[in-house]
């Protein structure tokens, strides 16, 4: 699969082992204990990527889907920790806000203006996808000033 904003090609090969080939020999906890740990980390304010990293490092759970039969996002939604805006969208929004602040201070920084345009293009594309799937409201629009207030709080 080719990258969108570069002339290079990506590596489209999945390196994750199949569920059937992974055994539960490394798991020293049951599924209810893993769910309890996930909800505890979510209460502390960690986002999905960090929760998965902590489970892998501290609790010896290499793949949550293999251990529980569901993905981490599904477990968080069932536990009541669903966010208004998905995490990947929030990461792009914070990056766009930081780039806007930088460009306000450095008007002649052409490279970061280009990266801001690319970041906002990704935001618009991703917002269309999330509107179609129902993860964002249908009337949601990207407004940098409103988004800066949302992320600041």
What pLDDT shows up at residue 24? 52
What pLDDT shows up at residue 69? 87
**Which CATH number fits the domain that encloses residue 102?**
1.10.287.10
Q: Which range of residues forms the domain containing residue 43?
A: 24-79
pTM for this model (two decimals): 0.73
Average pLDDT along the chain, 153 residues, taken 10 residues at a time: 63 70 60 90 91 91 87 90 87 95 95 96 96 93 90 73
* Per-position DSSP letters for 73-133, written without gaps between them: HHHHHHHT---SS-HHHHHHHHHHHHHHHHHHH-TT-HHHHHHHHHHHHHHHHHHHHHHHH
Q: From 35, 50, 79, give the residue that closes a domain.
A: 79
What pLDDT shows up at residue 1? 41
Same domain, 143 and 95: yes
**Domain tally for the chain?**
2
What pLDDT shows up at residue 3? 60
What pLDDT shows up at residue 66? 85
């Amino acid at each position: 699969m080719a990258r969108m904003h570069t002339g290079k090609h990506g590596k489209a090969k999945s390196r994750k082992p199949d569920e059937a080939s992974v055994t539960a020999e490394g798991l020293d906890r049951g599924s209810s204990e893993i769910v309890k740990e996930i909800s505890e980390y979510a209460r502390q304010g960690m986002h999905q990527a960090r929760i998965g990293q902590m489970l892998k490092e501290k609790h010896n759970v290499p793949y949550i889907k293999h251990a529980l039969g569901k993905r981490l996002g599904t477990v968080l939604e069932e536990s009541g920790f669903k966010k208004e805006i998905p995490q990947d969208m929030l990461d792009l929004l914070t990056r766009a806000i930081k780039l806007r602040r930088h460009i306000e201070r450095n008007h002649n920084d052409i490279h970061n203006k280009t990266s801001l345009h690319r970041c906002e293009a990704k935001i618009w594309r991703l917002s269309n996808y999330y509107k179609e799937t129902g993860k964002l409201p249908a009337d949601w629009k990207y407004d940098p000033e409103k988004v800066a207030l949302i992320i600041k709080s």
